[in-house]
Amino acid sequence: MTKLKLTYFDAPTSRGEECRLALFAAGVDFTDNRIARADWASLKPTMPFGSLPVLEAEGKPPVSQSNAILAYVGRRYGLLPKDEWEAFRLESLLGACEDLRTAISATFGIQDPEELKRRRAALVEGPLRTWAGNMEKQIKGPFAGGPELSVADLKLYVIATWFKKGALDHVPTDVLAPFPKLEGVHANVSAHPKIVAWYARKS
């Protein structure tokens, strides 16, 4: 198979980062094509759905949508279980993560500081805690599917890191503290040799 190329913004965050981590953790030799925000307007019309990340292979049409990319990498390169139903279950966690991102995105662009504070507090007490409680029930431990790292863990790791870095105003950095299995996934992914190696080479 020809070398894969993953295109995303030049930032270690969000949907692009989880796809990079999956490819690297799976041992795939890929081109990490990072673009500047300033170049996005001209590139956007050339993308399948006008969004990133996008995965490409020579002779194949480009494919967008992070969950599709993660599922492909997971199934082809061993970051999803061979048991089809368990792989299916873990793929459902990817969709649940995007549901949370949609709920969070609804609070973007709020200009009034008090309104933002109120909406983020409602987000934490409502959709975020509900999501975390449901996700907690899905995690077997130490990773989502048990002893082996999967693409679901990488997506959960990136989202949890988002919170822990304080990137969202009025969302506490310890918002996931009441959910030990979720916290465990983040800690175990952080300590995974492949993830350690990825961030060591980028520092």
What would the pLDDT profile of 143-191 be if each residue is shown by its tens digit? 999 999 999 999 999 999 999 999 999 999 999 999 999 999 999 999 9
Q: Is the pLDDT of residue 201 over 90?
A: no
Average pLDDT over residues 15-31: 97
Over the Cα atoms of the chain, what is R_g? Answer: 17
- Quick one: pLDDT at residue 202? 62
- Quick one: pLDDT at residue 127? 97
Q: What percent of the chain has pLDDT over 70?
A: 99
- Tell me which residue of 194, 190, 123 sits closest to 160, measured CA to CA: 190
Query: Token digits for 193?
Result: 């040799």
- Quick one: pLDDT at residue 119? 97
Task: Name the band, by pLDDT with cuts 50, 70 and 90, for residue 20.
Answer: very high
CA–CA dist 94, 195 (Å, integer) = 19
CB contact at 8 A, 120 and 170: yes
Task: Name the band, by pLDDT with cuts 50, 70 and 90, for residue 2.
Answer: confident
Average pLDDT over residues 17-31: 98
Please, what are the domains in the chain? 4-78 (3.40.30.10), 84-193 (1.20.1050.10)
Mean pLDDT for the chain? 96
The burial class, CB within 10 Å (0-12 / 13-18 / 19+), for 100 is middle
Average pLDDT over residues 123-144: 98
Q: Per residue in 57-81, is it b (16+ CB within 10 Å) or e — as a string?
A: eeeeeeebbbbebbbbbbbeeebbb
Strands 54-56 and 63-64: antiparallel
pTM of the complete model beyond 0.85 = yes
81 prior amide bond cis, ω within 30: no
Average pLDDT over residues 44-52: 96
Q: Is the pLDDT of residue 22 over 90?
A: yes
Q: Is the pLDDT of residue 82 over 70?
A: yes
The burial class, CB within 10 Å (0-12 / 13-18 / 19+), for 53 is buried
Q: Which residues contact 117 (CB under 8 A, 6 or more apart)?
A: 169, 170
